[in-house]
Copies of this chain bind each other. A is one copy, B any other.
């Protein structure tokens, strides 16, 4: 039997403790599956005295994760601290410098510094693995990097922030406005300390940028992700979209087009009956499309102690078995610099606006949209509420530019009240 594989675990929050628990529960199984003994040499966290749901007395303690990363009895540095800079980054850099392999669940750090860290590690023959950083327990990094590696990937899509999906599905099922469900999510502990990471789409955007790098063989380009959060989604739009056969999801889409790489994390309508449309609560779903394999859909828990720790162990087990893969599926130094598409590919859009109860109001809007080159697929006018009537429109394929232009002209019709809404409909 080869030498034991010795781990140092930095960060003892939910995920870190989950990783320890799997080790304590399944040491024999892990050894049977990897052909070697796995040990935890040392752990590290900010506070030693915090009450934690695991017995850590068998492991050495380091208060400084950088010191942990440098320990001679650590082969794999497992970074579960979080944060794009600070101790997480410092300790990973120290680990690489010391010749360790790294396993991390840190999407923010990799989305911002993944390229340089991977180059650094790979130049020394070490690996950085991050299955737990994307979609929790779903083995999507592995599916994309390895399972679908024979495919030219056309598009990657996903609902990858469980909190946003919880908020949107809860708004629909309970008929509650955004602000109220947001507060509920906060009280349930579903929100990050900075809630904008969740509801602003940033966290999910990090994940999308990482998948795009693997899918298209390009450097991680988080800055190029078009980000829009769910804060402006109204209960009205959720209900109206449903009437038209759609659900609203915070959907990430990355695709390589003739105009360059497109990456969006934004609210989209998807058919209510599609797998993405039916996704309820905190569950995640990722859709991978390859030229040979067609469409592969993966579904599972996107967060939580067990699922995320399961993903961390997947990476540790790979390393224990001797599997040594490039972080992004090919050497980081060979990743291309992506050309960012200037605008999203045309798509049908959902529009909602309030029209004055005046003869010819609808015709005026339809004419204006037509002049802007926007063709209408379906339109539905609701009964008048006081002096206005809500109108829903599903357009044929059009661009956001065309819509913005049309919306800027709407005031001159004199029949539109308030701000019109437009949301992209993604073909899934």
Contact = CB atoms under 8 A, between A and B. Distances in A.
A326 B317 CA distance: 13
Given A150-B317, A310-B148, A296 B294 contact: no
Given A146-B314, A290-B310, A317-B146, A138 B296 contact: yes
Interface in A307-346: 307, 309-314, 316-318, 321-326, 329-331, 334
A339 B296 CA distance: 34
Given A32-B217, A143-B142, A26 B150 contact: yes
A276 to B, nearest CB: 12
Interface stretch (A44-52, A254-262, A297-305, A415-423): A297-305
Contacts of A331: 35
A327 to B, nearest CB: 13
State the main secondary structure of chain A at its contact with B. mixed
Contact of A310 (B26, B151, B322): B151
A298 B301 contact: no
Contacts of A293: 137, 300-301, 306-307, 310-311
A301 B291 CA distance: 12
Interface in A218-269: none
A275 interface: yes
Q: How many copies does the complex hold?
A: 2
A296 B300 contact: yes
A337 to B, nearest CB: 15
Interface residues of A, number: 60
A147 interface: yes
Contacts of A151: 310
A292 B318 contact: no
B139 A33 contact: no
A330 B150 contact: no
Contacts of A148: 139, 310, 314
Interface of A: 18, 22, 25-26, 29-30, 32-35, 131, 137-139, 142-143, 146-152, 217, 275, 278, 290-301, 304, 306-307, 309-314, 316-318, 321-326, 329-331, 334
7 contacts: A26-B150, A35-B330, A142-B146, A150-B310, A293-B307, A294-B300, A297-B297
